[in-house]
Structure 1
Amino acid sequence: MMPSKTSREEGNGMAKESVQSAKASRARTVQADKSKAGQKKADGAVAKPAAKPRLASIGICCTLAWAFLINAAGGEAPTGQLSWQVSYFALAIAMVAFGFIARSKPAFVESPAAGYVAAVAGAFGAAALLFSSVTPALDALEYPATIVCSCVLGWLYLQWGAFYTGVNLRMAIGCLFIGNTAASALKCAAHFSPFPLMCAITMALPVASVLLCRMALIDAPAGGRADVRFESHNLRGLWKVAVAAAVLSYVTAFLVGTSFGNQSAAAPDVFLLGRAFEVLISGVVLAVVIGANRAFNFAQLWRIVLAVLALDVLSQALLPQITVIRCVESSAWDLLVLFTWLTVIDIARHAKADRNMVIGMGWAVYAASFAAGSVHSSWFSSGSFGIAFTTLLMFALAMVGTFFLEVRDQDTKWIFAELSGERVSAPQDHRSIDERCDAIGAERTLTPRELEVMKMLCKGRTKSYIAETLYLTENTVRSHTKHIYTKLDVHSKQELMDLVGA
């Protein structure tokens, strides 16, 4: 029996629809494959294996050594630290100002002309500072030279920040800590040299830093922008990081100030032991992170500084007569600088805000707090701040460790996420999850508390984490979870996440 004309037309129509559907499906598949390939290409640009670091990549050693030497000029006692205090206040102001300038005019940091100006200003500023410390007739140059050197140091920090934010974190750690080892050798070479040679080394360091940084930027592997983790809506959540860095900077400056003023006044054995500690700590970090490929996070890293400072507070209070222990705060100071570098550059790499602004603000927090601790230390005679103030310092360190260096804190988990050993969701994903949860919650009449719990569940949080964060018991969280499942007609956390699209 022959099919009717209508049946044949319907069959042809269905066949055409089937062909069109198949074509559309293939087109979607091809487009998806292209998207995945493009995403892989983009990801590859960010995660591109770093080229083998060259000598220029550790040129930060010149900046680290120069910062040490210009801060060690003069000020042989805690009461003579005014130029030292001025230098840190000037650095804080300069970093903020330079960050604003570089945001609108990148050539301020990137152009060769700016580098030449900074190099010359740093060399002559260092010479003026050193000669003013040994020549009474040149005393008037001390403070202008200090401010010039501080401004040049801030500019160098921004320049090296451009290099470190352009490479992956593991390479940055290697370059920074190898550079720190080289910086310790430069510090010793300058410190134990006759004055003319020390002056020549100090003048050469800013010039070498500028040239090596330009070479390092040329050698740095090209790559796309890193994934954004810190946007305007959650960048403010890093206030805990700022508070922790500020307190630790303040305590470090206070301890250094009440011991011997600065490194120029340290005994030779204390000076050498301090540099040995720097090399030892750098070696341990390199062995753990680079050699053993171990994971770490922000809280674990900064707790090292916390432990060293606590040890130093106790040693100053209980064993003030053993001056050789004073090398501990010198190593704490060095650790503070290095960890500030790592924290600031990682936040800058993953922030939607301008890189120079983030670096400038981050270093300003460190420098201003350090200056405040130094000023406060000048109110006490050397090493005699008493049991009451010792207790206060230990209390401050305990509060930092308890509330600001919490390992499970999600705000700080985004820092060093590549090396933390666990998957951390990007904050922009969290914002879209929050928006979808708000829409679903309004439709299904969830209570405000149920909505809070729902958002955290969709972000992969455990019930214990939610209970601790929202100050609830785990039983209360379980009860809220059951109500959420009932109202949304889901039966598991995975179904909830699928519903929200998390």
Structure 2
Amino acid sequence: WRAWVSLSYANPVCPMPVNTAAGHLSYDIVLAACAITVALLSSRLAPLAGKRWVYPAIALLLGFSAAANTAAVIWPATKTPLVVPATLAGGAGSALLILLWCEIYSCLGAARVALYYALTIIGGVLLTFLLQGFREEYLYGVLIALPTLSAALAHRSYRCHIPAEDRPAASGRRLIPWKFFLILALFELVASYSSAAISAEHPSLIGSHSTWTTLVGGVLLFVWVWRFSSRLPLSTLYRAPAVLICCGLLIVPLFGIGGSVAGSFCTALGVMLFNALVLLFLCDIAKRFGVSALLLFGIEETLLLVSWAGRGAAEALDRQGLFGALGPAVGSVAAVAVIAIVTLLVLNKREIDERWGLAFLGKRATEEDERSRLAHRCAEVASRGRLTPREGEVLELLAEGKSLSGVASELIIAEGTAKAHTRHIYEKLGINTRQELLDLLMAES
């Protein structure tokens, strides 16, 4: 998909009359709209990889989008009537393909996700560079075939390499890390604002698809996971992208190291690496907490529209000429200040470790620490709900996932008594199901 979108929309090397007429923004809007629709319907659609219709649908939608451009080249009169259906097909097919692969990633461990994601980035860039040398007639054929190949590989990966016990199931949980989405949106906004002019002048250098920035980021991620993850877990480096972005905005231009190109490169690299951390984080949440990957990644994909807002803001400020010659400097200082403050307040130790228990590619908290944190959360909820000591014990056992018979056996009471205690707990806490109890404990953390 990375090679397909780079050669179809981001940096086409052959005529794409339908895509050019529609514009990249229209494609992104359709993609975001379809992604959020899938997110809202995640409880019904999950697991998407288990739906037989999704694979041919992706191949047909993206294949039609590429074929429409081929038809418009051969028969120019068909361009106008094909713009709307081709854009809708391209955006919808891309959303389904992205969410399909993200759902498959969420079935894997963190190390495999990081390695496969890094290899995907590297492979996408290299394939794009290779295909750019194809003759036009061959390239059009490849663009029609690539989505089918990607969908077929996704089908094989899910059916042959994901054990049945690790496959996602339909889930109604709504545990959403809004703070991380806020940070990602902020980084995207700042990066697109700061590199608006550079990305237009050097499209193969700066960008979120197959560019030199993504290639360098993919190589760095791969080397880090392969060689250094045991000594330096990625979860300890969650602020590194913010440091890179600040360097690109302020330090590099201040000392004249490579000019604005180097600064934009650092900024784009920081955003790309934070995107990788967010991918690992969302996969970890989906796997450990049973939240639908379609919900999490559907929301995450809508943030691609933020980059358009950043570019629009940069163009508007340039036209207005605010602050005169000092405009870029004032914008950079303001962006650095906002990033520093928000990162320190939101991406803190408590949010990363205590609330979510994250330790990508490193050692997780010990079982005793996990139990201690769970007991602490239960004690706080019991105190606020004015539960009796016995009800507090039942609450903790329920939080550990024990059934009513398991609770009765653990406390040496009748199962009917355990059921009565559970009913009283739900009444005092104002909830009705165990799922609501688990969500309440997560909110308490």
TM-score (ref. length: structure 2): 0.68
Matches within 5 A, 1:78-157: 83-106=23-46, 109-128=49-68, 138=79, 141-142=82-83, 144-157=85-98
Tell me if 1:393 matches 2:335. Answer: yes
* Kept in 2: contact 1:110–1:159 (CA 8 A): no
Matches within 5 A, 1:25-424: 63-73=1-11, 83-106=23-46, 109-128=49-68, 138=79, 141-142=82-83, 144-222=85-163, 224=165, 235=175, 238-261=177-200, 266=202, 275-294=211-230, 300-314=236-250, 315=252, 322=259, 324-325=261-262, 326-332=264-270, 334-364=272-302, 366-381=303-318, 386-410=328-352, 414=356, 416-417=358-359, 419-423=361-365
Question: More displaced, 99-108 or 210-219?
Answer: 99-108
Q: In structure 2, do the counterparts of structure 1 residues 319 and 419 end up closer, same or farther at CA, with 3 Å as the change threshold? A: same
- Alpha-carbon contact 1:309-1:332 (below 8 Å) kept: yes
AA of the residue aligned to 1:248: F
Deviation per residue, 1:472-494 (Å, 9 max, x gap):
xxxxxxxxxxxxxxxxxxxxxxx
**8 Å Cα contact 1:85-1:374 kept in structure 2:** no
| Whole-angstrom distance in 2 between the partners of 1:259 and 1:81 | 23
Displacement, 1:71? 3.5
Contact 2:249/2:267, CA 8 A, preserved across alignment: no
Q: Deviations over 1:327-379 (max 9, x none)?
A: 44554454354333223222222234333222212332x32423332333442
Higher mean C-alpha deviation, range 408-417 or range 315-324: 315-324
Shift of residue 164, structure 1, vs aligned partner:
0.9
Tell whether the 8 Å contact from 1:66 to 1:206 is kept in structure 2 after alignment.
Answer: yes
In the alignment, what sits opposite 2:403?
none
Distance 1:381 1:120, change over 3 A: farther
Aligned residue type for 1:253: S
Quote the Cα distance in structure 1 between the aligned partners of 2:330 and 2:363. Answer: 41
Whichever residue aligns with residue 177 of structure 1, its letter is A
Cα 1:305–1:148 shift into 2, 3 Å: farther
Q: Distance in 1 between matches of 2:56 and 2:241?
A: 36
Among 415, 419, 435, the alignment partner of 2:381 is 435
Supply the AA of the counterpart residue of 2:308: A
The answer to whether the 8 A contact 1:303-1:401 is kept is yes
Give, in whole Å, the separation in 2 of the partners of 1:415 and 1:149. 38
- Residue 93 of structure 1: how far off its partner (Å): 1.7
Aligned to 1:472: none
Ranges in structure 1 where 5+ consecutive residues have no aligned partner: 1-62, 444-502
Per-residue deviation, residues 49-107 of structure 1 (Å, max 9, x unmatched): xxxxxxxxxxxxxx23333333415699xxx9982333333222211101233421347
- How many residues are paired up? 370
The verdict on how the C-alpha distance between 1:435 and 1:268 changes in structure 2, with shifts beyond 3 A counting, is closer
Alpha-carbon distance in structure 1 between the residues aligned to 2:75 and 2:29: 25
1:241 counterpart letter in structure 2: F
Q: Unmatched 5+ residue regions in structure 2?
A: 390-445
Whether 2:425 is the aligned partner of 1:425: answer: no
Task: Tell me how large the CA RMSD over aligned residues is.
Answer: 4.3
Which structure has the larger Rg?
Answer: 1
Structure 1 residues 217 and 390: alpha-carbon distance in aligned structure 2, compared to 1, 3 A threshold? same
| Residues 281-317 of structure 1, C-alpha deviations (whole Å, 9 max, x = no match) | 3333233323334266676444333233223323568
Deviation at 1:420, TM superposition (A): 4.4
Question: Counterpart amino acid of 2:40?
Answer: F
Structure 1 distance, partners of 2:138, 2:152, is 21
What is the CA–CA distance in structure 1 between the aligned matches of 2:71 and 2:337, rounded to whole Å?
42
